[in-house]
């Protein structure tokens, strides 16, 4: 899966207008061949840390499908119906390729709309640690879902064009509370410094639309 994410800053005065525009945008995307939402990441998500920041996530079967939409119906919509002028870009559109997804056992297909929260963790991993980092996430995802029942899906993405860039997403039905002892123990033996020279950017979002 090919995913494109961006973050916009939306002043309070134009939030209603921005959400109305986003709904129009989404309706156009739904008509584009190759646009998908198999895992529930697609949507508009509001940052809990920065209340005027909105995460926008689009998913496609392939990069070619996304490019075709940009040159076709979606591109035409953006030209004719620009978003409110007061909206600014915090993080520009960036493309990612899905590497691995772990869904909670028993989660029914199409249940993603119940996921009210999305935690996004973006990493810049040292080249020498890439393989170890990917293995560590494959180990961590099932452990997380075992001890934090509200987490329903975990996904790791690799940047489509920047070596060492990773995006890890956890979707859940509730915000969650204290980190269980089992996860704290795992984290102590797998510190971020094992994989990266700078700490990952970890942010929690709530579904807006």
- Chain segment 16-44, per-residue pLDDT in tens: 999 999 999 999 999 999 998 765 668 89
118 contacts 207 by C-beta, under 8 angstroms? yes
pLDDT, the chain, mean: 93
The arithmetic mean of pLDDT across residues 168-196, rounded, is 94
98 contacts: CB under 8 Å, gap ≥ 6: 1, 2, 3, 155, 156, 157
Considering its fold, how many domains does the chain have in total? 1
CA 52/CA 87 separation, integer angstroms: 10
Asked if pLDDT for residue 136 goes beyond 50, the answer is yes
- Chain segment 153-176, per-residue pLDDT in tens: 999 999 999 999 999 999 999 988
How many Cβ atoms sit within 10 Å of the Cβ of residue 1? Answer: 18
The CATH number covering residue 132 comes to 3.30.70.100
Asked if pLDDT for residue 111 goes beyond 50, the answer is no
Give the pLDDT of residue 105: 75
Give the pLDDT of residue 175: 86
Percent of all residues in the chain with a pLDDT value above 90, rounded to a whole number: 87
CA 170/CA 177 separation, integer angstroms: 14
Write down the pTM of the prediction.
0.92
The arithmetic mean of pLDDT across residues 11-16, rounded, is 97
CA 141/CA 151 separation, integer angstroms: 10
Percent of all residues in the chain with a pLDDT value above 70, rounded to a whole number: 94
C-alpha distances in angstroms, 32 versus 77, 122, 128, 133, 180?
12, 28, 39, 35, 42
Give the pLDDT of residue 107: 65
The 3-state DSSP class for residue 158 equals strand
Tokens at 149, concatenated: 């029942």
Q: Which residues pair with 123 in a beta bridge?
A: 166
For residue 24, what are the domain limits? 2-207
Q: Provide, for the chain, the percentages of residues in helix, strand and coil under a 3-state DSSP scheme, each rounded to the nearest 5.
A: 35, 35, 30
């Amino acid at each position: 899966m090919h995913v494109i994410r961006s973050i916009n800053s939306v002043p309070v005065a134009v939030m209603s207008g921005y959400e109305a525009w986003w709904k129009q945008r989404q309706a156009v995307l739904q008509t584009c061949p190759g646009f998908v939402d198999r895992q529930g990441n697609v949507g508009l998500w509001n940052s809990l840390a920065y209340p005027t920041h909105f995460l926008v996530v689009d998913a496609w079967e392939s990069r070619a499908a996304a490019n075709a939409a940009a040159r076709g119906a979606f591109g035409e919509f953006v030209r004719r119906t620009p978003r409110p002028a007061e909206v600014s870009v915090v993080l520009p559109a960036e493309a990612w390729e899905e590497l691995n997804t772990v869904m909670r056992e028993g989660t029914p297909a199409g249940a993603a709309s119940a996921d009210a929260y999305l935690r996004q963790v973006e990493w810049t991993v040292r080249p020498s640690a890439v393989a170890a980092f990917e293995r560590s996430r494959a180990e961590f995802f099932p452990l997380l879902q075992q001890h934090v029942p509200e987490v329903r899906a975990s996904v790791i993405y690799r940047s489509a064009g920047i070596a060492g860039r990773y995006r890890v997403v956890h979707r859940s039905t509730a915000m969650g509370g204290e980190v269980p002892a089992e996860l704290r123990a795992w984290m102590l033996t797998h510190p971020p410094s094992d994989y990266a020279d700078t700490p990952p950017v970890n942010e929690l979002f709530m579904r807006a639309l």
